Amino acid sequence: MHHHFRYWLPFLPEGVPAELTTPAEVARFELAQALPRIAPEVTVDIILDEAMDEAFRIQRADDAVIITGGQRGVLYGAYRLMMNLAAGEKLPRSHFQQPRYALRMVNNWDNADGDIERGYSGRSLMFEGGRFDYDPVCLCDLARLMASVGLNVLCINNVNVRNPAHRLIEDWLPELAEVAAIFRPFGVKLMVSIDYAQPMRHGIDTADPLDERVQTWWNEQCRVVYAAIPDLAGFLVKADSEHRPGPFTYGRNHAEGANMLARALQPHGGKLVWRCFVYNCQQDWRDQVTDRPMAAYQHYVYLDGQFDDNVILQVKNGPFDFQVREPVSPTLLAMPKTNLAIEWQLAQEYTGHQIDIYAMMGMWQEVMADLGSDRIMAMAAVSNLGRDACIFGHPFAAVNMFGYGLLSWHPEFADPEGIARLWAKLTYGLEQADEDALVQILLESRSAYEKYTAPLGVCWMVTPHTHYGPSPDGYEYQTWGTYHRASRDAVGIDRTASGTGYAEQYPSELRNRYSSLETCPDNLLLWFHRLRYDYVMRDGRTLIQRIYDDHFEGCEWVEAAEQKLAALPLPEADKALVMERISRQKKNAREWRDVINSFFYRFSGVEDAKGRKLYL
Amino acid sequence: MHHHFRYWLPFLPEGVPAELTTPAEVARFELAQALPRIAPEVTVDIILDEAMDEAFRIQRADDAVIITGGQRGVLYGAYRLMMNLAAGEKLPRSHFQQPRYALRMVNNWDNADGDIERGYSGRSLMFEGGRFDYDPVCLCDLARLMASVGLNVLCINNVNVRNPAHRLIEDWLPELAEVAAIFRPFGVKLMVSIDYAQPMRHGIDTADPLDERVQTWWNEQCRVVYAAIPDLAGFLVKADSEHRPGPFTYGRNHAEGANMLARALQPHGGKLVWRCFVYNCQQDWRDQVTDRPMAAYQHYVYLDGQFDDNVILQVKNGPFDFQVREPVSPTLLAMPKTNLAIEWQLAQEYTGHQIDIYAMMGMWQEVMADLGSDRIMAMAAVSNLGRDACIFGHPFAAVNMFGYGLLSWHPEFADPEGIARLWAKLTYGLEQADEDALVQILLESRSAYEKYTAPLGVCWMVTPHTHYGPSPDGYEYQTWGTYHRASRDAVGIDRTASGTGYAEQYPSELRNRYSSLETCPDNLLLWFHRLRYDYVMRDGRTLIQRIYDDHFEGCEWVEAAEQKLAALPLPEADKALVMERISRQKKNAREWRDVINSFFYRFSGVEDAKGRKLYL
């Protein structure tokens, strides 16, 4: 991490010394360097109350402030206080907070070879060349960033565990313990992705979860792991998905598969996080019955109540795969007797590769409104971190990590504008008009990106494999279960009861909302319905005209944003990165606009009502 | 090369001993082992007449045969005699042959790392791990195969010269000389692909062909090269194409670029083969004026007469890039004052990857009929060789190398059925009915492949990068200049005078034939014309119905061929390979059929007249 990028903590220029080992010590150190910069008149006392654990209370009498909390609580309180002061917010006399979710996780998809799957911020911060390779100062700064927004678990390696990453819980344990020690003073626990078939590397000819030798191997291995790292958060597993091994290989269901691992972790207080991302990635495109978004529900919901207490099912926010627009996953609404975590993706796999600006707060707010905060007991997010000079790739992508922390701490507090404004204030301290301009760009960025990419929830019109740029038919005749079936008359899949029946997986309110053309939101119309190009939208435009309009508007937004950004007085390094990326975004947006519009023009034969250029 | 694959020379079970150093010695050795097997009653005398060079005369009096010729002539005569005898052909009393073209070249696209660009028969026979790595016995067998059909030049490395392949003409020269020594007794000379920017690896800051330092470097380097290998055939160059360096970088034209190298080679008798494959691979798909197939003509024809005598321009058979169906390249018809070689591609890049059966003789015959044999003075073919157990990947792909040899020796003799039958007789010695069945499969294979892939000359509906399997829009919105512009009404590009004007590059006969819908061959209709789906073909079918019919028929052909092949008594190793590949071909053909038919069905909305299944 380079010193010209302090992200939302510019008032903490000094790194935390390695000698500090408790969160309370870190809290005192941070306050001591920050207060003279942001509020020299303020004094802060810290009072430990271990029973409060992660919660904290901030009490103020004039300029004397007392933070009370558990070890982690006082650290969270201290960062909250510093950010409030730095942002010039008025403090209430007494302010109590506790996190909504006990586990607020970041998932790195870092491979041992240093590559990051779907990473757009450079190489891994952890690994290179098939081994650990990190800068301890940099990891310490990352731990600080996480703690400052309340994030408390870091899974350090890719869920697709490839040789030699399995060694993390074997002969690499001493080094793993050293990394854990860097994060521990910040209240951040490590988690490790494991290979479900790992026992087979040790002379056992099966990974069957009901096989006693497999159980014994994991029990023993967990003892070894926890002897080295007693506070490891647990294991993360991707099983039976996209060619990963899993219990299906042995005719076992996922409760049997997950519980076996959970029982090995249980004596040590570890969690078993099990990703619910199972579908047939070898589907025949001719098959109009199988509907990929239905797969997770079909594989998991019948198992509700059968998972052990320390198992957490981690479910992506939408039923497909982090598309620009998805309805909430119905699986999250259908397993009341199971511990559930929602999984977001901060890495902009389908949302612009941290080249295009895409602030995610609006998506979180909408999904959480449909989900409700008490269906889940944890949150996870695929990280957008890497070894680039700016660890988020794009300086503005920092707002997604910042906001995700606040969201997972307590979703009710996570309104999009509040997050954008606080992040902008802390990061750049701009004049009000400039701050307003930046906040507006962030808040509009998602809608703009959505407008110039795949229209109205149809998804997947993206370049295969890389997932950047348009390819409207790129996944159409493939095996991935991701089709739009555009023809000369119509586009989209009927997922209501008269079609694939996907909408039937929802409770009645959502089912009814999505199934009716009267109430289905415009931006999900082509997710749930197959519509003719001359279908008349609620605002009176035809579907085809709406597609054209959106694409022209999305692209115009980028052109205007480029002008506004050019006028913003950002720090030099940020400014250079931001301007370089917006020029690439502009190119991308134009390509999307013209390809998608051409694609539908060639099918529909309908000219743009405003006479703009379409390409035959 | 494994002993169970002797290809079309099963009567030569013993490898040629390394001690033999002249073609005449090899001829005697081969006759001595073959005659007892194929014609024990025949005796052969060899009489050297150096003035005859590559030509030979075979004279027969009862069972006493005399072969007269130069060193290479007697070897070619010996192989021709052995093949005639093995095939049971009746020999005339006196038979004289001389090759139509002095250079009959095979171009390997082998990289120094052992990979082969567009290779479908395994790893390189020459290189592995960034260095030479070969089996001398195997190379000797390859030299024999080449000589047996009259091929006399082997370019051993990829035209895309990547580090460290430039070392071939530097510190790898001693090893290159050893390889040359293996091929020399078979009359095969080596050629090397060179990096146009090679002087820049040696402290010269330019590769400008008019810069004296560059000229001096090449002059000196050629002296070094020819001191090591006095009979090297010359250099092959791909310049200014697909990101390769070339004279355009320095504002020079390709005559200036080629002549500089030719003058360095000239004192040593070397040829400079210059590939004419230049086009803009960064085209904007919106641009309807630029037409990629016109590029070579535009870049080269105006330079006719400006190339030195030892320069040969190597031009692909079609103006695009080895598509299943292309008209002859107009460049080949427009440079009477230039040495021209036609370039074929035996590697089945776009024609089935040596998984699908695709015998090329029909294509050669058609192209040569339009070209005429005296426009060119040499032939080249990208090889289909590799390190697999069967060096051609598919046992039947051997017919393409076999036939190409006969074609380049003398195109007038190269009728498709004659080649297929002679190859089948020599390779398998089947009963007549089985031989007929095999020959029929070979002769029909090209038409079948064409039917189930991109229709009627529209080209490029292939999976990007890999070039196997269907992706009708895969190249449509890309930068490669390869568009079909299918819409709800029509498909294809107008390349006549009313369109891009490509057809105007031809002499009048071909121009008229292609420009008129009355005379344009069906299988080139969509190359030259943009047609509505309801266009009525000469046989009364609509264009869309013709597309459907072709795709169903092509696929049915594969299903029938699988049955016929299952009944053929081929040697076990060949049979296993052939059956494994036809089952993959069947899968491929079905995928092509359904994807292409669906693609056009979705656009046109027209049902199949015969009620067969189309997928919306």
Which pLDDT belongs to residue B2?
A: 44
Q: Give residue A331's Cα distance to chain centre.
A: 18
Mark out the alpha helices in A201-286 (DSSP H runs). 212-228, 254-265
- In the block, tokens 């700064």 appear at A141
CB contact, 8 Å: A532 with chain B? no
DSSP run (H or E) holding B400:
helix B398-409
Which pLDDT belongs to residue B4?
A: 52
Same domain, B251 and B325: yes
Contacts of A602 in chain B (CB under 8 A): 485-488, 603
CA dihedral B206, B209, B213, B219 (to 10 degrees): 130
Task: Name A442's Cβ contacts closer than 8 Å, sequence gap at least 6.
Answer: A357, A359, A396, A399, A420, A424
Which pLDDT belongs to residue B414?
A: 86
CB contact, 8 Å: A289 with chain B? no
DSSP run (H or E) holding A45:
strand A43-48
| pLDDT confidence band for A34 (50 / 70 / 90) | very high
* Residue B12 near residue B85, CB atoms below 8 Å: no
pLDDT at A201 over 70: yes
The residue range of the domain holding A594 is: 455-493+530-604
B394-435 pLDDT, tens digit per residue, is 999 999 999 999 999 999 878 999 999 999 999 999 999 999
Same domain, B63 and B107: no
DSSP structure class, residue A414: -
Q: For the residues B586-606, what does the mean pLDDT come to?
A: 98
Structure tokens at A74: 């006082």
Which pLDDT belongs to residue A4?
A: 52
Which pLDDT belongs to residue A424?
A: 98
Instruction: Tell me, yes or no, whether A181 lies in a domain.
Output: yes
Same domain, B186 and B316: yes
Which pLDDT belongs to residue A3?
A: 43
B46-69 pLDDT, tens digit per residue, is 999 999 999 999 999 989 999 999
Structure tokens at B582: 């036809």
Q: For the residues B286-307, what does the mean pLDDT come to?
A: 97
Q: For the residues A144-162, what does the mean pLDDT come to?
A: 97
Structure tokens at B478: 């890309």
Q: For the residues A161-174, what does the mean pLDDT come to?
A: 96
Catalytic site residues of A?
242, 321, 349
Percent of chain B with pLDDT over 70: 99
Same domain, A216 and A336: yes
A513-540 pLDDT, tens digit per residue, is 999 999 999 999 999 999 999 999 999 9
Q: Domain boundary residue among A97, A113, A145? A: A97
Structure tokens at B244: 């390769």
Give me the number of domains chain B comprises.
3
Instruction: Tell me, yes or no, whether B463 lies in a domain.
Output: yes
Q: What are the residues facing B32 on neighbouring strands?
A: none
Concatenate the DSSP letters of all residues of B308-354 into one string: -TTEEEEEESSSSSS-SS-PPPGGGGS-TTS-EEEEEE-S-TTTTTT
- In the block, tokens 């996922």 appear at A254
| B490 Cα to chain A: minimum distance (Å) | 10
Same domain, B111 and B92: no
How far apart are the C-alpha atoms of A24 and A54, rounded to whole Å? 12
How far apart are the C-alpha atoms of B125 and B228, rounded to whole Å? 22
How far apart are the C-alpha atoms of A550 and A490, rounded to whole Å? 18
pLDDT at B148 over 50: yes
How far apart are the C-alpha atoms of B168 and B224, rounded to whole Å? 12
pLDDT at A129 over 60: yes
How far apart are the C-alpha atoms of B439 and B431, rounded to whole Å? 12
Contacts of A605 in chain B (CB under 8 A): 487-489
CA angle, A43 as apex, A42 and A47 as ends, to 5°?
140
Q: Do A595 and B474 touch (CB under 8 A)?
A: no
Q: For the residues B264-287, what does the mean pLDDT come to?
A: 95
Same domain, B458 and B564: yes
Q: Do B487 and A616 touch (CB under 8 A)?
A: yes
Catalytic site residues of B?
242, 321, 349
For B474, the closest chain A residue by CA position comes to A474
Same domain, A536 and A579: yes
A67-118 pLDDT, tens digit per residue, is 999 999 999 999 999 999 999 998 889 999 999 999 999 999 999 999 999 9
Looking at every residue in chain A, the average pLDDT score rounds to 96
Instruction: Tell me, yes or no, whether A560 lies in a domain.
Output: yes
Same domain, A245 and A386: yes
Q: Specify the CATH number for the domain of residue B68.
A: 3.30.379.10
pTM to 2 decimal places: 0.94
* Residue B529 near residue B496, CB atoms below 8 Å: yes
* Residue A138 near residue A125, CB atoms below 8 Å: yes
CB contact, 8 Å: A177 with chain B? no
For the beta carbon of residue A208, count every other beta carbon within 10 angstroms. Answer: 20
pLDDT at A2 over 60: no
Q: Domain boundary residue among B346, B365, B393? A: B393
Q: What are the residues facing A128 on neighbouring strands?
A: A131
Q: For the residues A137-149, what does the mean pLDDT come to?
A: 97
CB contact, 8 Å: B494 with chain A? no
Contacts of B286 in chain A (CB under 8 A): 594, 615
Q: Do A477 and B485 touch (CB under 8 A)?
A: no
Looking at every residue in chain B, the average pLDDT score rounds to 96
| B530 Cα to chain A: minimum distance (Å) | 12
The CA-atom distances, in angstroms, between B392 and each of B105, B124, B346, B348, B402 are: 17, 12, 10, 10, 11
| A604 Cα to chain B: minimum distance (Å) | 7
Which pLDDT belongs to residue B150?
A: 98
Q: Specify the CATH number for the domain of residue B467.
A: 3.90.1330.10
A205-239 pLDDT, tens digit per residue, is 999 999 999 999 999 999 999 999 999 999 999 99
Same domain, B373 and B457: no
pLDDT at A573 over 80: yes
How far apart are the C-alpha atoms of A527 and A513, rounded to whole Å? 13
Contacts of A286 in chain B (CB under 8 A): 594, 615
Inter-residue long-range contacts of A555-560, CB under 8 Å, 24+ positions, other chains counted: A555/A452, A555/A586, A555/A589, A555/A590, A555/A592, A555/A593, A557/A444, A557/A448, A557/A451, A557/A452, A558/A448, A558/A452, A558/A582, A558/A585, A558/A586, A558/A589, A559/A586
Q: For the residues B517-532, what does the mean pLDDT come to?
A: 98
| pLDDT confidence band for B91 (50 / 70 / 90) | confident
Instruction: Tell me, yes or no, whether B443 lies in a domain.
Output: no
Closest CA to B143 of B52, B9, B46: B9
Same domain, B211 and B348: yes
pLDDT at B609 over 60: yes
Instruction: Tell me, yes or no, whether A509 lies in a domain.
Output: no
Same domain, A119 and A262: yes
Query: Looking at this protein, which amino acid is placed at residue A317?
Result: N
Tally C-beta pairs within 8 A across A and B.
Answer: 58
How far apart are the C-alpha atoms of B362 and B27, rounded to whole Å? 32
| pLDDT confidence band for B244 (50 / 70 / 90) | confident
Instruction: Tell me, yes or no, whether B84 lies in a domain.
Output: yes
Tell me the residue ranges of DSSP E strands in A509-559. Answer: 531-532
Q: Specify the CATH number for the domain of residue A234.
A: 3.20.20.80
DSSP run (H or E) holding A419:
helix A416-428
Q: Domain boundary residue among A97, A118, A147? A: A97
| pLDDT confidence band for B278 (50 / 70 / 90) | confident
Same domain, A42 and A146: no
Task: Name B327's Cβ contacts closer than 8 Å, sequence gap at least 6.
Answer: B318, B319, B370, B510, B514, B524, B527, B528
Instruction: Tell me, yes or no, whether B418 lies in a domain.
Output: no
CB contact, 8 Å: B285 with chain A? yes
For B479, the closest chain A residue by CA position comes to A591
CB contact, 8 Å: A488 with chain B? yes
Q: What is the ipTM of this complex?
A: 0.92
Nearest to B616 among A485, A604, A616 (CB): A485
A311-320 pLDDT, tens digit per residue, is 999 999 999 9
pLDDT at A1 over 70: no
Which pLDDT belongs to residue A430?
A: 97
For B492, the closest chain A residue by CA position comes to A616
Percentage helix, strand, coil, to 5, in chain A? 45, 10, 45
| A153 Cα to chain B: minimum distance (Å) | 41
Instruction: Tell me, yes or no, whether A4 lies in a domain.
Output: no
B493-508 pLDDT, tens digit per residue, is 999 999 999 999 999 9
pLDDT at B3 over 70: no
| pLDDT confidence band for B242 (50 / 70 / 90) | confident
Nearest to B470 among A471, A477, A603 (CB): A477
pLDDT at B283 over 80: yes
